[in-house]
Amino acid sequence: MSNEWAILGFGRFVHYKDDLYRPLFAGLDNVQAEHALHSFHCLYAAATGNFAVVPDPESGPMLDYWRYDMIDFSSYTEYKLTNVPGLASLIGLHRYPNYDEKQILQGHVASVKGNWKYRQNGILAFAHSQPFWKLVQSYHSPARTTGEKEWDELLDKIREEGPNFDRGTLPCPSFAERMGCLSPMCPFAHDVEERRAIREAIIEDRRATLEKPPNRDQWVRKQLAPEFMKSPANMFSYLRNDPNPEKDKLMKEAKQIRRMCANSWCMAVQWKVVPKGREQATLRRCSGCGITYYCSSECQKTHWKRHKADPCVSVEEQLECDDYWSDEGRRIPLEEK
Ligand SMILES: [Zn+2]
Ligand SMILES: [Zn+2]
Ligand SMILES: [Zn+2]
C-alpha cells in the first residue's frame, strides 16, 4: 500500500505524500480501519443472510418499524458485529414478512441512489443505514432482489466467492471524506479519479438545485390570494385543482418569470417577456450569496432574518460544504439543524 493519502477538502482532492500531517490524526487510523472492517462484515452478513430481525419484546409483535439493534448477527461468526453507538435511534426497519415486491422496487432504491453520501463514499459507508437494510431484506425476501441490478450482482458475488472475496473492489468508506483514509494498510479501493468524478457529479447536481428557477406556483397563489380571502371555498377549489380559467391564465404568464424578489410579501418579477399589464422590476443580486434577488434594499432588509439562515454564503461554499445539504440533496436552511 502506498504512503500517499488523499484529502478531499472543499470538493478537491489534496495529496499528502509525506508523513508531516500524520501525527495530527494519531489513533484515528485505527478508528477508521475498525469502522471499515465492521461495515465490510455487515455487508458480508447481509449478502449471506447471516442475520435475523428480532422483535423488541417491549414493543410487541405488531410494531411496524424495527431498529438496527434488533438485527441479530449471532449466526455470523467471522467477526463480532456490534451495534454502532447512536445508530439504533436512526434506523427503523420494516417488518420483513410485510414486505411486498412493489414496495421494495419503488422508493427504497431511489432513496439510496439519490443519497450523495452513498454515491461519494460507497456501499461500505452505507452498510449501517436504514435504506441499505431495507434493500437487503428484499434481497432475502420472495422478491429475491434489492431492486437494483448492480447490488444484486455485488451481493451474489460476495456469496459465491466467500472468504476469497476481493475487498479491493469496494471503495474505502473514508477515502472520500475530508480527512481522507489514514490507514496505510487499508485493503479497500482508493481510486482518486473515480472519487473525483463522483464528487464533481454531486457538485453539479447541487449547482442545478441552486440555479432552479423561482417558485412560479407561489407567484400564482399570491395573485389568487384576493380570491381566497373572499371565500375559503375558492381556496379549497384551488387545492382540489378544479378547472379555473383565471389560474390557467396566470400559469401561462408565470412561464415568463425569469426572477423574483425573494421577499414573499413582494415577489416583484423580472420577466423574460413582459405580459400585458405587468410591470418589469429591476432586481439586484444579494452580494453575500449571489443567488437571491431583491427589488429594493427595503425588501432585502425585511427578508434578511429568513435569508441569513438560507444560508447567505457564496455559491462555491454552498456547493462544496456538505453541511448545507441533506442526504437526499436538498439544501438545508441553518435553522433546521
Ligand atoms: Zn482506505
Ligand atoms: Zn444572500
Ligand atoms: Zn421586493
Q: Where are the alpha helices (DSSP H) in 71-146?
A: 101-103, 109-113, 116-126, 130-139
**pTM reported for the whole predicted model:** 0.73
Domain boundaries in the chain?
A: 5-189, 216-336
User: How high is the pLDDT of residue 335?
Assistant: 66
Closest ligand, as measured to the CA of 317? 2
pLDDT (tens digit per residue) in 113-129: 888 888 988 999 888 77
Report the separation in Å between the CA atom of 295 and the middle of ligand 3, taken as the mean of its atom positions.
4
Report the separation in Å between the CA atom of 214 and the middle of ligand 3, taken as the mean of its atom positions.
14
| Residues paired with residue 5 on neighbouring β-strands, in sequence order | 16
Whether the CB-CB separation of 84 and 76 falls below 8 Å is answered with: no
Report the separation in Å between the CA atom of 225 and the middle of ligand 3, taken as the mean of its atom positions.
18
Report the separation in Å between the CA atom of 273 and the middle of ligand 1, taken as the mean of its atom positions.
54
Give pLDDT < 50 ranges for the chain. 1-5, 7-18, 61-64, 66, 84-98, 337
Output the nine-digit C-alpha cell for 327: 442526504
Tell me the HSE value of 272 on the side-chain side, using a 13 A CA sphere. 9
User: How high is the pLDDT of residue 84?
Assistant: 46
Closest ligand, as measured to the CA of 286? 2
Closest ligand, as measured to the CA of 287? 2
Closest ligand, as measured to the CA of 259? 3
Closest ligand, as measured to the CA of 6? 1
Q: How many CB atoms lie within 10 A of CB 35?
A: 16
Closest ligand, as measured to the CA of 308? 2
pLDDT (tens digit per residue) in 312-334: 999 888 888 888 888 888 888 77
Report the separation in Å between the CA atom of 34 and the middle of ligand 1, taken as the mean of its atom positions.
11
